Amino acid sequence: MMKRFVGAVVVAAMCVAVSPASAQQKPVPAAEVAKIKADVIKAANDYLATFSKEDWKGVAENVYSHPAIQNGPTGVSNIDPAKQIEGYTSNVKNMKAAGWVKSAFYNPTVCVINPNTALMSSRFRRYDKDNKVIAENAETGLFAKVGDNWKLVGLFGHVVDKVITCND
């Protein structure tokens, strides 16, 4: 299962990163890597803030780029914004039944692939109204720079001990 997940992330990253100039790409300078990492973490935190506000339309239309992909029970598929909104609305009912009010990332790892592509892999926690942790999960997001913004191209949930690491 994990091999398929990592394979899907690699294929998705390659699809985003491939360009006629890809064979000529140079390493991203360290200062630029630091800025990209900060920008991707900000985009991911903006995603969770929008999610925690239950602004499903904002998540679908402003957080994700389109086309985008997801890995679910039936495998990798394209994200349809209308179905995404419907899915979030349905899923949050179960989360609220467990007491959920917000989610937050902790210890994210950002791997800069090129100036316009990055992976962020992180654990995240779900909290109740008393700020008590009620669940811990993990996910890896494929981000692409779209204009001046970093957007999610794909988001893949996984077990907490499978957070991806990288070397700069």
Cβ neighbours of 114 (radius 10 Å): 19
Give the pLDDT score at 23.
61
pLDDT class for 59, splitting at 50, 70, 90?
Answer: confident
Each residue's pLDDT tens digit, 13-36:
444 444 455 567 788 999 999 999
CATH number belonging to domain 2-13+28-162: 3.10.450.50
Reported pTM = 0.79
Nearest to 108 by CA among 118, 98, 116: 118
d(CA 23, CA 162): 30
Each residue's pLDDT tens digit, 83-142:
777 777 778 888 899 999 999 999 999 999 999 999 999 999 999 999 999 999 999 999
